[in-house]
Structure 1
Amino acid sequence: MFSNFLSISMAVEPPFFEKYKAILQSSAEMEKFPMVEVCEEIELPLIDLSGLNLGPFERQKCIEQMAEASSEWGFFQIVNHGIPEELLDRLKSEQMKVFHRPFDKKAGKNFLNLSAQSYRWGNPLATSLRNLSWSEALHISLKDVSRMDESNKLRLTIEEYATKANLLAQRLAECLAQNLGIKPNYFQENCSPSSSSLRMNRYPPCPYSSRMFGIIPHTDTDFLTILSQDQVGGLQLKRDGRWVSAKPNPNALVINIGDLFQALSNGMYESITHRVVANQEVERYSMAYFYCPTYETVIESCSKPALYRNFNFKEYREQIGKDVKATGDKVGLSRFLL
C-alpha cells in the first residue's frame, strides 16, 4: 500500500532528480554553497484598507501608510481588501488539484488548452544549486484564460478572482501614485484587464532545502504584485543588505512593488529583491497576481532629474529575456539607468 502511494506521489512530482542529477550528486557543488543562513523573522507593515472608505483624514492616513511602506520596505500587507476569503480558498483548492495531476499531463502539450510555456518547473538554465528553483508553477496570461475549457472550474474561478484582483491592484496603484504627480487615470488607461498575469506556485518538499531555494532571488517585472500564500512560510526579502523572513499572516494579502513602479516613481518606491526558501518536510502554495501594463505602455519617471530613460513594457521584457539567455540571470532596471 505504501509503495502504491509512493509511486503515485512520484508520478506527480517533476523529475528534479533526473533533470539535475549532475548538480545534485556533485559533492564539490554541495561544498561550494554553504547552508542558507537562518534569517530573522519580521512582520511586514500591516495596512487596513477600510480606511480608504472613511473620512478624508482616515483615507489620507491609509495612503500615507502605503507610500511609506513602499519606500522603506517595498512590501506591505493588507486586510479588508475586498477579495472574499471564500474565493481565495476556492482558488487554492483548484490550484492544488492542478498540481496534483500526473507530471506527464502537466508537462504535456495543450495542458488546460494553454501555451506550452504556461507550466514551468525548475530552471532550464540552472548550472548550480543557487540558481535552481525547487518549485513548479502555472503562469497564465489573463488574455489566454478564455482559451481554457469553459466547463473547467479552474477557469471560472480564475476569471472571478482576476476581476477582483485587477480592481484592487488599480486602486492600490492609484493611491500610491497620488502624491507623485502621476495623472489619476494613468493606470486605467494603460493596464487593461487582460494585460496582467497570474502565477500559481507549488513548492514540493526539498531534501536539499538547506542549500537551495524554492525560487531564486529576483525582483518582480510589473507595477505591483498581489500575493496570496499559505501558512508554511518561506518568503524572504533583502532589507538593508541582509535577508529577513516575512512572517505569514492568514488574514492578509501581501503587496510588493515591482520594477515598473520603481522606474515610474523615479526611485521613490523600491522593487525589493526577494526569494522563497525551500522546505524539507511540507509542500507550500502561493499565488501571485502581476499587475502589468500593455506592451506599448511607456514608462517615464514622474520627476526630474530622471533616474531612468523612457522605455516601453515590451522593450523591458525583451531585454530581460536577452539577459537571462546570455547570463542566466535577470539584470533588470540597471539596464535603463541614465
Structure 2
Amino acid sequence: MNSSAARIPLIDLQPLIANTQARYAVAAQIRQACCDYGFFYITGHGIDETLQQRLEELSRQFFAQDSDTKLRISMAKGGRAWRGYFPVGDELTSGKPDLKEGLYLGAELEDDHPLVQAKVPLHGRNLFPDYPVQFRATILDYMTAMSQLGHQIMSGIALSLSLEASYFFNRYTWEPLILFRIFNYPAVPYTPEQWGVGEHTDYGLLTILKQDNSGGLQVKSRSGWIDAPPIPNSFVCNIGDMLDRLTGGFYRSTPHRVRNLANHDRLSFPFFFDPNFAAEVKPIEGILADSSQEEFSDRWDHANIHALQGTYGDYVLNKVSKVFPELRQSVL
C-alpha cells in the first residue's frame, strides 16, 4: 500500500556547501532524515542546472537510437571495468529482469593508471558512444561535479553523527569508488509483478539521484511504500548498505523500487559515491544502533551486512556478479 501521509524531507544544503555555522543545523536535518527515512531531497547543492539539462537531453538522444547502434558499446565489451550499454531485461534485481535499459559508467581512468594496470575490477575507461557528440564531455563534467558534491554531503553526514567533517574522507573516500548509471525506463505496460527495478537497497555509502519529471520512484517507509516524486532542481539522496554497517543500523539503508507509469520514457541518473575499493568497512565506535530497527532477517534480501568481512570491493563484486550473471566472469 502507498501511504500519502509520510513525506521525505527536503534539505537546503547551501550552509553546508558554504561551510557556515548553519551547517550544524543542516547536519541535524540530515540526521533526522537518515533515522526516519534513509532518504532526503537536497536543494542548494550548486550543481549547474544547464549541465543537468544538457545531460538529460543527450541521454534521450542516445536511447532513441536503434538497438544495434546502442549495442556497439555493450557491456560485453567493457571487460573488468564493467562499463557500457545493456538492453531492457538484461539487468536483474533479486533474480528478476528489470524493465529498463542503461549505461554503466564510472571514474574515467587511463590505461596506465596503477589500478588499471593491476586489473582491479570496476576501474578503467568508459565506453562512450560516437553519438551524441557532446555526450562524453557532458558525462565527465557531470561526474566531476557530483564527486565534489558527494564529498560535501558525506561531510554533512559525518557532522550528523557528531564526527569530524573529514571522518569519511580520511578513512573511506579519499579515492572513492565512483559508479554512475544512466537508466531509461521505456513506456510499456506492466503486470502487477513487474517493476522497472524491483525492491532493493544500494551497496555503498551514498546515492545522489537525478530524476526526470516522470515520477515512479517509491521508498519503503515505516508506514508503507511512499512516493518520491521529482522536485525541480533537486536531487534525491539515500544511504547505502555500507553506511548502515558503519552505523550499526542506526542509519538504515532503505529499500526502494521504480515503476514507470508515465506514457513516455523515464530517465534516471543515480550517482553512487562509495568507499574506496580496498577499504575495510568497520563499525564506527560509540554509535549505538536503534534497537527498534528491523532485524536483518526482514531485509529484502535477508542479508546480514553487519557480519561482513573483508573490503568494500569484496562486497560490491559479490553484488554486481548477480546483476549480470552472464558477465560475472569478466569481473571475478
TM-score by length of 2: 0.76
Superposed, 1:114-263 pairs within 5 Å as 114=78, 118-124=84-90, 131-143=96-108, 144-145=124-125, 148=128, 152-180=133-161, 182=163, 184-189=165-170, 190-191=172-173, 195-208=177-190, 210-240=192-222, 242-263=224-245
Superposed, 1:279-298 pairs within 5 Å as 279=261, 281-298=263-280
Superposed, 1:307-322 pairs within 5 Å as 307-321=306-320
Report sequence identity in percent: 29
| Contact preservation (8 Å) 1:226, 1:289 | yes
| Contact preservation (8 Å) 1:181, 1:302 | no
Structure 2 residue 67 is the aligned partner of structure 1 residue 103: yes
Matched position secondary structure for 1:139:
strand
Unaligned runs of 5+ in 2: 109-123, 290-305, 326-332
Structure number having the greater helix percentage: 1
Which moves more between the two structures, 44-53 or 59-68? 44-53
Deviations, residues 46-98 of structure 1 (Å, cap 9, x unaligned): 01112323742x22111100111011110000111010111100111111111
Q: 1:163 to 1:38 in 2, by over 3 A?
A: same
Q: 1:146 to 1:280 in 2, by over 3 A?
A: closer
| Contact preservation (8 Å) 1:140, 1:198 | yes
Computing the radius of gyration from Cα coordinates, the structure with the larger value is 1
Unaligned runs of 5+ in 1: 1-36, 327-338
Whole-Å separation in 2 of the counterparts to 1:104 and 1:184:
47
Corresponding position of 2:257: 275
> What amino acid is the match of 2:41?
Q
RMSD: 3.2
Q: 1:148 to 1:191 in 2, by over 3 A?
A: farther
Whole-Å separation in 2 of the counterparts to 1:259 and 1:191:
15
> What amino acid is the match of 1:154?
F
Corresponding position of 2:248: 266
Which moves more between the two structures, 202-211 or 218-227? 202-211
Whole-Å separation in 1 of the counterparts to 2:263 and 2:312:
39
Q: 1:50 aligns with which of 1, 5, 14?
A: 14
Q: 1:239 offset after TM fit, Å?
A: 0.9
Deviations, residues 183-203 of structure 1 (Å, cap 9, x unaligned): 543433433567201100111
